[in-house]
Amino acid sequence: MIPFTKKYQPMSLKEIRGQDQAIKSLKTYIQNIKAQKKKAFLLYGPPGTGKTITAYALADEFQYEIIEVNASDFRNKEGIEQKVGSALQQYSLFSKGKIVLVDEIDGLSGKEDRGGIQALTALIEKTIFPIILTATNPWGSKFSALRNHCVLIEFQPLGCTEIAEILKHICNKENIKYDLDTLKSLARRSGGDARAAINDLQTLSILANELTKESLERLSERSKEESIISALLKIFKTTDPKVAIGAFDNVREDLDEQLLWLDENLPYEYNKPGDLARAYDKLSKADVFNRRIKRWQHWRFLVYINALITAGIAVSKDEKYSKFTQYKPTGKLLKLWWAKQKSMKKKAIAGKIAEKTHSSVKEVVKDIEYFKLIFKKNEEMAGSITKYLDLDNEEIAWLKK
């Protein structure tokens, strides 16, 4: 059986949904590749947003040969030089040109990486062919040199509506029965990952050729990861400490995020003042332990924190509440996320300045506001700095904000 992801893979750039701006930028660069100073393009964004298929569709549209290398298979210097290096040295015989695709460069950042990033950066410096790299998160410090040699192009998470349209198209082609609400639920469940949604659709419809609400409910969480909502249900809807104690074992959210979720939703769930007071007492004690870990690195306190925020909060109520509560994230989570993204971009720019001025990144970060002021007030000087530091469009936009 052919996987739906392969069978219905977009064959042209026009068929790729939700990435118009990213595709437009990449297409413009490739059209004028000979005039481009940078010939490597780093496509980054969440899984299942179309990064890899965009590279293939682009090569097809320009009649380029494409050679794909998965970075996680060749993580060391020798492997990168042998596989990518040989691909760059070979001229294409039957097409106008060639694109070398290095997929999932996140795989180069692990413990097994032995000079892989440096080797890839060196190859990018001397390539005459366009190189497309893909990554989920390119902002790690290990990628700083690599980022400096690439044009960064962001791929956005796909919206629920866009994923639902993709699923609807496949259902119609495969004669899969469905109702629109269930289809939209499946789309929402994917978290912006079209590939995951398509795989789930094929799994759920493989026997009866039908997508039903019941089959969707039976679908186990992808990669056995539970959502934060499931964890909250285990804590808030039970008074049994044995049920609650493992609530956060398989969630993706880190400890700080778990504490924020609990802090936001406790007042909506626990209506009785006594229940709420006892629950917040447990939460505050967990926060104290968390701060001690950060200050003194006493990691043994983690077991106390987990007990307090799971079993502790669960038994703080006299009896479980039968009402339905719509749990929601706190605005602090979004602020934390934005702050993290901002910090990563700030450090990436500071790294370029530090390299040119022979300063430390830490010192440059302190003075970054002066550079922002220049980019807002002095266009001529900003242009000179851009050229000297070789800033890309995203970095320029950040400095101008």
pLDDT digit string (tens) for the chain, length 401 residues: 678 988 998 889 999 988 999 999 999 998 888 888 888 999 998 888 899 999 999 999 988 888 887 765 565 566 676 667 766 666 665 657 888 888 888 766 544 445 678 888 888 888 888 899 998 878 777 788 888 889 999 998 888 889 999 999 999 999 999 989 889 888 887 778 888 889 889 888 877 888 888 877 766 444 334 478 878 888 998 888 988 998 888 777 788 889 989 998 999 999 999 999 999 999 999 999 999 988 888 888 999 999 999 999 999 999 888 777 777 777 665 566 566 666 777 888 888 898 888 888 888 888 888 999 999 889 899 999 988 888 888 788 888 87
Residue 234, both tokens: 């285990």
The whole-angstrom distance between residue 73's C-alpha and the CA centroid of its chain comes to: 21
Residue 16, both tokens: 């790729």
The whole-angstrom distance between residue 220's C-alpha and the CA centroid of its chain comes to: 22
CA triplet 123, 126, 132: central angle to 5 degrees? 60
The pLDDT, as a whole number, for residue 294 is 84
Query: Tell me, what DSSP letter sits at residue 253?
Result: S
Of residues 224, 229, 236, the one with CA closest to residue 188: 229
Distance CA 263, CA 258 (A): 9
Question: Over the Cα atoms of the chain, what is R_g?
Answer: 25
Give the bridge partners for 135, in sequence order: 44
> What is 57-112 written as a DSSP string?
HHHHHTTEEEEEEEGGGS-SHHHHHHHHHHHHHSPPSSSSEEEEEEE-GGGGGSTT
Q: Which fold has domain 160-219?
A: Helicase, Ruva Protein; domain 3 (1.10.8)
Domain boundaries of the chain, sorted by first residue: 19-154, 160-219, 228-329, 333-400
State the virtual CA torsion across 7, 9, 14, 18 in degrees, nearest 10.
Answer: 130
Helix (H, G, I), strand (E, B) or coil at 16: coil
Strands (DSSP E) found in 136-214: 151-154
Distance CA 99, CA 132 (A): 7
Strands (DSSP E) found in 104-194: 131-135, 151-154
The pLDDT, as a whole number, for residue 310 is 95
Contact 335, 316 (CB under 8 A): no
The pLDDT, as a whole number, for residue 366 is 86
The pLDDT, as a whole number, for residue 220 is 47
Looking only at the bridges linking them, the beta strands covering 40-44 and 64-70 are unpaired
Residue 363, both tokens: 């010192």
Give the bridge partners for 102, in sequence order: 69, 133
Q: Does domain 19-154 have CATH number 3.30.70.100?
A: no
Q: The domain at 228-329 falls in which architecture?
A: Up-down Bundle (1.20)
